[in-house]
Chains A and B, each alone.
Chain A
Amino acid sequence: MRDLSGAISWLQRSLKWNKNNIPARNLLGLVYYEIGEVEDALEEWTISASFQPGDNPAIRYLEAIAARQARVDNISQVIRKYNLAIHYIREESEDLAILQAKQVISRNPRHLKAHLLLALLYMKHEEYAKAERILHRALRIDSGNSTALRYLSELREVARQKKLKSLKRKREIAPVQPAEEEDAVAGDILIPKYSETTGSWRTVFLLVAGVLIGVVSTYFLIFPAERRDLQQQANQAQQDYFSTLQQLQDEIDRLESGSADWEAEKQALLNQLAAYTEKDTVQAKYDRLLLVYAYKAGGDDYHAMEELLKIDPEGDLSEQFLTGYQTLTAEYSTDGASRLYNASAALCEEGRFEEARDNLLMVLRWNDDFPEAIYLLGTVYWNLSDRETATVYFNQMISGYPDHPLTAEARALLATAG
Chain B
Amino acid sequence: MINFEEELAKYKPSKEIESLEDEIVHRDLTDMTDILMQMMQQGSDKKNA
Contact = CB atoms under 8 A, between A and B. Distances in A.
Interface string A53-88: 000000000000000000010011001101100110
Contact of B2 (A17, A39, A123): A123
A47 interface: yes
A86 B12 contact: yes
Contacts of A123: 2, 4
Contacts of A46: 20, 24
A117 interface: yes
A72 B24 CA distance: 19
A173 B12 CA distance: 48
A388 B10 CA distance: 45
Contact of A18 (B4, B15, B33): B33
Chief secondary structure at chain A's binding surface:
helix
Given A39-B17, A46-B20, A113 B32 contact: no
Interface in A106-126: 113, 116-117, 120-121, 123-124
B17 A76 contact: yes
Interface in B1-49: 1-2, 4, 7-8, 11-17, 20, 23-24, 27, 29-34
A352 interface: no
A72 B34 CA distance: 35
Chief secondary structure at chain B's binding surface:
loop
B27 A47 contact: yes
B14 A39 contact: yes
Contact of A16 (B1, B4, B14, B32): B32
Interface string A222-262: 00000000000000000000000000000000000000000
Interface string A274-307: 0000000000000000000000000000000000
A223 to B, nearest CB: 62
Interface residues of A, number: 33
B7 A120 contact: yes
A76 B11 CA distance: 18
Contacts of A163: none
A107 to B, nearest CB: 13
B11 A113 contact: yes
Contacts of A151: 2
A43 B24 contact: yes
Which of B2, B16, B20, B27 has its CB near the most chain A CB atoms (within 10 A)? B2
Contact of B31 (A17, A39, A43): A17
A181 B22 CA distance: 84
Contacts of A80: 16
Contacts of A360: none
Given A43-B20, A124-B4, A17 B13 contact: no
Contact of B32 (A17, A37, A75): A17
Interface in A25-66: 37, 39-40, 42-43, 46-47
Interface of A: 15-19, 37, 39-40, 42-43, 46-47, 72, 75-76, 79-80, 82-83, 86-87, 89, 113, 116-117, 120-121, 123-124, 150-151, 154, 157
Interface of B: 1-2, 4, 7-8, 11-17, 20, 23-24, 27, 29-34
Given A89-B11, A120-B2, 6 more contacts: A17-B33, A42-B20, A83-B14, A121-B8, A123-B2, A151-B2
9 contacts: A16-B31, A17-B33, A19-B33, A39-B14, A39-B20, A47-B24, A76-B17, A86-B13, A89-B8
